[in-house]
Chains A and B, each alone.
Chain A
């Protein structure tokens, strides 16, 4: 049976169509989800896409966190059952929801950054990265103004110690992220958030590479295996 992967549209989401397209190219069925409906429509996994939900009012992701769809999503994600990928604004929403630790703050340079960025996959043990090899380098787009990952030093230490840093910027973080962190996962490995955009790197015609497709094929492999994320050695 074809896996069904939901993509949530918030007011101000920009990359929901691209995320749905990446899901389709990976071989799954994208299912549009609406921020104002507390209904996950029985999907097998969810992508929180990039953009500027609710105009980034207050803080990026701070309002989206309380959207009706999140009342369904948060408990399912926290339990380890539902794979959730947050890209860019989606990562900010996951941090504001406390599904992931830390926060994303203003880029150190104060400039909006729009570059093709090399990343190193640090953990291939998550629901969204199992088709990569740890240490593999990928090229995807980074486009954000508030992408500087920060967390308390002991939280950063714990993320490193438990293999929960998923992707890291190579050659230094352009936004000043602490320890070069571009993306992290929760303790179950089912929730992954990252600032760069794998959904924009899924085919040669429109992206800098096809390196991002692995995130979407990974979740299909994860769902097909029926193995809880994080059960394999990272």
Chain B
């Protein structure tokens, strides 16, 4: 079994009001110097066998099709 991590983030040009709200909370909580926070999602995808090229290609297709919306989000894959 292998585990593939898929990180999904809003594209830089897409407004992230949740991240902005977190920045606001940082200030109120005394975490000075936090300038920006962007909030994303992390998926842990466990697959049968080794994370070879073919299986990674499958996970990439899964990410493009379902896990991320390419209109507003970017994603990155890595094997853990």
6 A/B residue pairs, CB under 8 Å, sorted by A: A62-B66, A95-B71, A101-B71, A103-B72, A110-B21, A148-B15
Q: Does the CB pair A58–B67 fall under 8 Å?
A: yes
A150 with B18, Cβ < 8 A, contacts A58-B67, A103-B71, A105-B72 known? no
Whether, in the assembled complex, B14 has its beta carbon less than 8 Å from a beta carbon of chain A, the answer is yes
A62 to B14, CA, bound (A): 18
Which residue from A62, A103, A106 sits with its C-beta under 8 Å from B17? A106
- Measured between beta carbons, the chain B residues less than 8 angstroms from A101 are 71
Q: Does the CB pair B17–A150 fall under 8 Å?
A: no
Q: Does the CB pair A59–B18 fall under 8 Å?
A: no
A58-B66, A102-B71 given; name 18 further pairs at CB < 8 Å. A58-B67, A59-B69, A62-B69, A66-B66, A101-B71, A103-B69, A103-B72, A105-B10, A105-B14, A106-B18, A107-B17, A108-B15, A110-B17, A110-B18, A150-B15, A150-B72, A176-B15, A176-B17
- Contact string, A176-201, partner B, CB cutoff 8 A, digits 1/0? 10000000000000000000000000
Total B residues in contact with A, Cβ cutoff 8 Å: 11
Q: Does the CB pair B14–A150 fall under 8 Å?
A: yes
- Measured between beta carbons, the chain B residues less than 8 angstroms from A58 are 66-67
Interface residues on A, range: 20 to 34
Residues of B within 8 A of A (CB): 10, 14-15, 17-18, 21, 66-67, 69, 71-72
Whether, in the assembled complex, A224 has its beta carbon less than 8 Å from a beta carbon of chain B, the answer is no
Report whether over half of chain B's contact residues are helix, strand or loop; otherwise say mixed.
mixed
- Measured between beta carbons, the chain A residues less than 8 angstroms from B10 are 105
- Measured between beta carbons, the chain B residues less than 8 angstroms from A107 are 17
- Measured between beta carbons, the chain B residues less than 8 angstroms from A122 are none
Whether, in the assembled complex, A133 has its beta carbon less than 8 Å from a beta carbon of chain B, the answer is no
Whether, in the assembled complex, A71 has its beta carbon less than 8 Å from a beta carbon of chain B, the answer is no
A109 to B18, CA, bound (A): 9
Whether, in the assembled complex, A151 has its beta carbon less than 8 Å from a beta carbon of chain B, the answer is yes
Whether, in the assembled complex, A96 has its beta carbon less than 8 Å from a beta carbon of chain B, the answer is yes
A62 to B21, CA, bound (A): 25
Give the residue name and chain of the A residue nearest to B65 (CB): A66
Give the residue name and chain of the B residue nearest to A66 (CB): B66
Give the residue name and chain of the A residue nearest to B21 (CB): A110
The minimal Cβ–Cβ distance linking A153 to chain B, given in whole angstroms, is 9
A151 with B21, Cβ < 8 A, contacts A105-B15, A108-B15 known? no
- Measured between beta carbons, the chain B residues less than 8 angstroms from A96 are 69
A62 to B62, CA, bound (A): 13
- Measured between beta carbons, the chain B residues less than 8 angstroms from A95 are 71
The minimal Cβ–Cβ distance linking A174 to chain B, given in whole angstroms, is 13
A11 to B25, CA, bound (A): 35
- Measured between beta carbons, the chain B residues less than 8 angstroms from A148 are 15
A107 to B66, CA, bound (A): 22
Instruction: Please provide the 4 A-B residue pairs with the shortest distance between their CB atoms, ordered closest to farther.
Output: A103-B72, A103-B71, A110-B17, A108-B17
- Measured between beta carbons, the chain A residues less than 8 angstroms from B72 are 103, 105, 150
- Measured between beta carbons, the chain B residues less than 8 angstroms from A62 are 66, 69
